[in-house]
């Protein structure tokens, strides 16, 4: 859609990965059709969980379906690599930039550069914190605050139904300063505020990683004599924590109530087995919506500031857990 120089073409050759690469066209009509397609620069934050892998797949597959040319970069959990990727998209003059910000802060300069270059920016999955809201066009992803609220509400309901009394809760939080970490923590605290029997005794960051989830759980088990509830911000950390509990001779789901967020197949399977009590769904498959919004932005149309996915809660009280369709990741 835009004129690009030789240096930019070389940059494209180096950067294009996966699907969506533009190839030399065979005839004029195909060339005309391709001219309508947009070029989207997408910066993924890393590989930390099954959720993330499913999210990357969803973006790539949706781009192919929508005929969007995709410049895809993975930052391997480093903010400076995301900033570098965004700068390369600006240099290449992509039509739209989308990225999943690893943390909320520290984006103003690079977003200003995108704005100065006239390139609209969409944040996907996670949000940015900025004093100037005009630096990005919108956000598409999950309502993490509501996820946190649902986690707390499940616990209140379980305590009420089973007349559980005093409960010591530990939290495994995600990457510090990331939107899901901040909002899942806040929603949960707001839900349980005023419940005299629910005591949040500790919170540790396991960075959304399975091995760190296990390490943190070990530390917590050594530190506290009695832990009744684990609230974990993602399934990867939960799976690690469950391993630590079992190694300590405890029965997850019975001795310790387990509430987790995401809903990967492994977590749903453990819910069915009784080792997890509640799974708060967070959908990684947002690729089609990302493409739709990117195409609107490229056409100069307005998009909503926030577009949220619809999500469910799966619990041990659900009548028919076997009817949950395969999760796909």
In the complex, which residues of this chain contact ligand GYE (CB under 6 A)?
A: 48-49, 51-52, 125-126, 142, 180, 208, 234, 236, 261-262, 282
Residue 51: CB minimum distance to ligand GYE, A: 3
Three-class SS state of 248: coil
- Which is closer to ligand GYE, CB of 51 or CB of 136? 51
Q: Is the dihedral of CA 53, 55, 57, 60 positive or negative?
A: negative
The closest of 221, 203, 217 to 148, measured between CA atoms, is: 203
What is the 3-state composition of the chain as percent helix, strand, coil, each rounded to the nearest 5? 45, 20, 40
Total residue length of the chain: 329
Residue 259: CB minimum distance to ligand GYE, A: 13
Residue 3: CB minimum distance to ligand GYE, A: 36
Residue 208: CB minimum distance to ligand GYE, A: 4
What residue ranges in 64-127 does DSSP mark as E strands?
Answer: 69-74, 96-99, 121-124
Residue 233: CB minimum distance to ligand GYE, A: 7
- Which is closer to ligand GYE, CB of 48 or CB of 73? 48
207: left (phi over 0), alpha (psi -120 to 50) or beta: left
Distance set, CA 89 to CA 24, 99, 129, 155 (Å): 21, 11, 21, 45
- Which is closer to ligand GYE, CB of 39 or CB of 261? 261
- Which is closer to ligand GYE, CB of 95 or CB of 147? 147
- Which is closer to ligand GYE, CB of 92 or CB of 154? 154
Residue 209: CB minimum distance to ligand GYE, A: 8
Alpha-carbon span 272 to 202, nearest angstrom: 28
- Which is closer to ligand GYE, CB of 73 or CB of 262? 262
- Which is closer to ligand GYE, CB of 103 or CB of 324? 103
Residue 13: CB minimum distance to ligand GYE, A: 31
Say which DSSP state 252 is in. B
Residues 6+ apart with CB under 8 A from 229: 155, 167, 168, 169, 170, 256, 257, 258, 259
Helix (H), strand (E) at residue 241: helix 235-247
């Amino acid at each position: 859609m835009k004129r690009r120089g030789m240096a930019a073409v070389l940059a494209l050759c180096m950067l294009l990965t996966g699907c969506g690469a533009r190839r030399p066209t065979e005839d004029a009509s195909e060339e005309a059709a391709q001219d309508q397609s947009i070029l989207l620069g997408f910066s993924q934050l890393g590989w930390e969980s099954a959720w993330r892998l499913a999210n990357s797949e969803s973006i790539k597959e949706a781009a192919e379906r929508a005929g969007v040319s995709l410049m895809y970069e993975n930052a391997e959990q480093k903010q400076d690599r995301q900033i570098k990727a965004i700068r390369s998209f600006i240099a290449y003059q992509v039509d739209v930039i989308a990225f999943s910000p690893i943390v909320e802060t520290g984006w103003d300069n690079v977003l200003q550069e995108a704005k100065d270059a006239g390139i609209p920016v969409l944040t996907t999955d996670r949000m940015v914190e900025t004093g100037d809201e005009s630096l990005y066009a919108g956000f598409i992803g999950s309502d993490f605050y509501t996820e946190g609220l649902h986690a707390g509400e499940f616990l209140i309901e379980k305590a009420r139904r089973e007349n559980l009394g005093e409960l010591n809760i530990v939290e495994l939080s995600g990457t510090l300063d990331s939107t899901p970490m901040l909002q899942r923590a806040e929603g949960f605290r707001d839900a349980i505020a005023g419940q005299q029997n629910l005591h949040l005794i500790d919170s540790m960051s396991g960075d959304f990683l399975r091995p760190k989830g296990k390490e943190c759980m070990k530390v917590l088990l050594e530190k506290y004599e009695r832990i009744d509830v684990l609230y974990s911000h993602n399934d990867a950390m939960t799976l690690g924590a469950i391993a630590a509990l079992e190694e300590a001779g405890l029965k997850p789901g019975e001795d310790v109530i387990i509430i987790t967020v995401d809903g990967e197949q492994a977590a749903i399977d453990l819910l069915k087995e009784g080792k997890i009590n509640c799974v708060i769904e967070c959908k990684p498959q947002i690729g089609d919506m990302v493409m739709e919004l990117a195409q609107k932005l490229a056409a100069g149309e307005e998009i909503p500031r926030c577009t949220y996915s619809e999500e469910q809660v799966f619990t041990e009280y659900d009548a028919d857990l076997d009817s949950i369709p395969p999760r796909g990741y």
